[in-house]
Chains A and B, each alone.
Chain A
Amino acid sequence: MKIFVCVKRVPDTEARIKIGADGRSIDPAGIKFIISPYDEYALEAALRLKEAQGEGEVTVVSVGDAAAAEQLRSALAMGADAAVLLKGAPTTDGLATAKALAAELASSGADLILCGMRAVDDDQQQVGPMLAELLDLPCVTAVTEFQVEGGKVVCHREVEGGVEVVEAPLPAVVTTTKGAHEPRYPSLKGIMAAKKKPLTEKEAQLGASRIEILSLEPPPERPAGRIVGEGPAAVPELVRLLHEEARVL
């Protein structure tokens, strides 16, 4: 079974983001970059599927600049078999990214294509469904877990108040969210072995980006807290404020 996992290089969720001098991008200096956590769920699911089936091949694909090779190496260290870097300037236009991925994956013979449900940097949630559309494949989004059996993928989706079970014929595109399994750590042996695994670099067929970021602004500073009073006497007022002002009760 040929499984492809699309991954994106994003700033660490713990990083302190500074806006660049142009006011439209972030300043990458001193920031640690990671595989977007939702893409890691996808990779973990792919590796588990391969392990459960006892055969298959997991290939990770990323659209990004040369630095994204670092995240592909991490994915190889976690256990992916091969990696493809589609080199091009990262774009916020999900369709441009999806087209680049589709050009690579159209003739790949993929049985299953996994994407994170969303990237934690620009949070557009576009690439997975657009990729499926471009490849004319069924798409199931926001999946917590799935099984592959008899040429089909059976997916669990968390919907309001319950679980929806969805089935699609393979090949298909599945986008993942946090499920039962935390992504594994790369083993130390895996890190050493990653060097010897193939990482292919190609020019991305990105096309023009039709979406442009005009400006980025940090969130407003949180206002200072307020002390309502002390002891049991303050409780009614606190409850009133939580109910009427904060509207959390």
Chain B
Amino acid sequence: MAKFTGIDYYEIDSLLSDEERMIRDTVRAWVDDNLLPIIQEAYIERRFPKELIPQMAELGIFGANLPEEYGCAGLNNVAYGLIMQELERGDSGIRSFASVQGALCMYPIYAFGSDEQKRRYLPAMAAGEVIGCFGLTEPDYGSNPGGMITTARKDGDGWVLNGAKMWITNGSMADIAIIWAKTGSLDDPSSIRGFIVPTDTPGFEARDQKGKLSLLASDTSELSLQDVRVGADAILPGSAGLKSPLMCLTQARYGIAWGAVGAAMACFDEALRYARERVMFDEPIGAKQIQQVRLADMLTGITQAQLLVLRLGRLKDEGRLRPQQVSLAKRANVDMACNVAREARRLLGANGILVEYAAMRHMANLESVYTYEGTHDVHSLILGQDLTGISAF
């Protein structure tokens, strides 16, 4: 297959620095050379391709926007976003892995951890030697994380955790879990704190989520914590209330808004090639108006989404980003990517249902992306509340 050379209808490349372009092109080449050749098989086998972790670590992908003093690459947020875009051009599951490792596990340790925790975990996580998972969502508390019933109770010097977490990416392969639990009464979300829980602690169990029809090349698990005893040094001392995990989600959602652009690019690129080559009624199907409309709609969506995340990234780098702006971008771009993937699959006709083509894999993955990290609907309500001042949750 020909190399992917990018979708850039509006010369957006000229808005990037040399380093940002070089970083994107490096990850792009890595995805072409190492991820795309194995992803179909991994997907069919329902297997996260663990063998890629050391390579991703060597490139410096994990926590790439965190500082160099912790072994990270110290990139700006636009470069970080471009990495997410290219990873998800490969597969949402691989981007999810990187998001969880970086934005959901390394970020809270960086933002809320003690110096000792930062020194102990961040370099090892950047090197891919310690893998993390993020335990916030519970079986009955998804869109409403503040209602969580997982508890952490003081016990001598340490803490005892009890509860269950669901839909946890990397859960079964993680070395540590960032577990969010209430230290006070169950109706007090301000008592939520984060804990670094080694997954080999007695009472901690992870079970693979069976029966998925989406994100098949990703580890999704259920966690159960039964009298899990951790030391006083397990609590993230800077974490304080529901706001702390939500800050992590803002980081991850930012990356998702970029990643969705990559998934859409992969589908559009494939659809455009197919439309040029596939002959029906004695001419390429790209000569048909109906396919031209499809392609025009896809390109329009991708171009709008590219400009949106680039501006969002610049705002983040200037320290002026509001979480609601991230909600808008996650909501708009993932919705766009879902539409592009579905239309690409349709343009591909019967071939579009095969794993040899990327469209249906992305289409199925993106239904999870649409739903996780704040569903599309939840982001609508966040924006609605921001506009009207009235909460509709």
Give Cα distance in the complex from A234 to B19, angstroms: 57
Given contacts A14-B3, A32-B5, contact A189 B19 (CB under 8 A): no
Question: What does the 1/0 interface line of B73-90 toward A look like (CB < 8 Å)?
Answer: 111000100010000000
Question: A188 contacts B61, CB within 8 Å?
Answer: yes
Give Cα distance in the complex from A185 to B29, angstroms: 8
Give the residues in chain A near B274, CB-CB below 8 Å. Answer: none
Give the residues in chain B near A191, CB-CB below 8 Å. Answer: 19, 22-23, 26
Question: What does the 1/0 interface line of B15-30 toward A look like (CB < 8 Å)?
Answer: 0001100110010011
CB distance from B218 to the nearest CB of A (A): 23
Question: B73 contacts A188, CB within 8 Å?
Answer: yes
Q: How many A-B residue pairs have CB under 8 A?
A: 44
Given contacts A70-B18, A73-B18, A74-B22, contact A188 B60 (CB under 8 A): yes
Of all chain B residues, the one with the shortest Cβ separation from A182 is B33
Give Cα distance in the complex from A186 to B22, angstroms: 9
Q: Does B140 contact A (CB under 8 A)?
A: no
List residues of B (80-103) whose CB comes within 8 Å of A's CBs: 83
Q: Does A216 contact B (CB under 8 A)?
A: no
Helix, strand, loop or mixed for chain B's interface? helix
Give Cα distance in the complex from A141 to B59, angstroms: 32
Give the residues in chain B near A192, CB-CB below 8 Å. Answer: 19, 73-75
Q: Does B317 contact A (CB under 8 A)?
A: no
Q: Does B296 contact A (CB under 8 A)?
A: no
Give the residues in chain A near B59, CB-CB below 8 Å. Answer: 185, 187-188
Q: Does A130 contact B (CB under 8 A)?
A: no
Give the residues in chain B near A189, CB-CB below 8 Å. Answer: 60, 68, 73-74
Question: What does the 1/0 interface line of A1-33 toward B look like (CB < 8 Å)?
Answer: 000000000000010000000000000000010
Question: B23 contacts A188, CB within 8 Å?
Answer: yes
* Contact residue among B2, B60, B61 (Cβ-Cβ distance under 8 Å from A14): B2
Interface size class of B (residues with CB under 8 A): 20 to 34
Q: Does A77 contact B (CB under 8 A)?
A: yes
Give Cα distance in the complex from A195 to B64, angstroms: 17
List residues of B (6-45) whose CB comes within 8 Å of A's CBs: 18-19, 22-23, 26, 29-30
CB distance from A38 to the nearest CB of B (A): 18
Give Cα distance in the complex from A161 to B307, angstroms: 56
CB distance from A167 to the nearest CB of B (A): 34
Give the residues in chain A near B74, CB-CB below 8 Å. Answer: 189, 192
Question: A188 contacts B64, CB within 8 Å?
Answer: yes
Give Cα distance in the complex from A191 to B59, angstroms: 10
Give Cα distance in the complex from A150 to B35, angstroms: 42
Question: A187 contacts B60, CB within 8 Å?
Answer: yes
Give the residues in chain B near A74, CB-CB below 8 Å. Answer: 22
Give Cα distance in the complex from A191 to B30, angstroms: 15
Question: What does the 1/0 interface line of A191-222 toward B look like (CB < 8 Å)?
Answer: 11011000000000000000000000000000
Of all chain A residues, the one with the shortest Cβ separation from B64 is A188
CB distance from A116 to the nearest CB of B (A): 19
Q: Does B58 contact A (CB under 8 A)?
A: yes
Of all chain B residues, the one with the shortest Cβ separation from A186 is B26
Give Cα distance in the complex from A186 to B59, angstroms: 7
Which of A70, A74, A185 has most chain B Cβ within 10 Å? A185
Give the residues in chain A near B18, CB-CB below 8 Å. Answer: 70, 73
List residues of B (249-269) whose CB comes within 8 Å of A's CBs: none
Give the residues in chain B near A32, CB-CB below 8 Å. Answer: 5
List residues of A (65-80) whose CB comes within 8 Å of B's CBs: 70, 73-74, 77
Apart from the given pairs A14-B3, A14-B5, A191-B22, 9 other A-B contacts in the complex at a CB distance below 8 Å:
A77-B26, A185-B29, A186-B26, A187-B59, A188-B26, A188-B73, A189-B68, A192-B19, A192-B73
9 examples of A-B residue contacts, CB within 8 angstroms: A70-B18, A77-B26, A186-B22, A186-B26, A188-B75, A188-B83, A189-B60, A192-B73, A192-B75
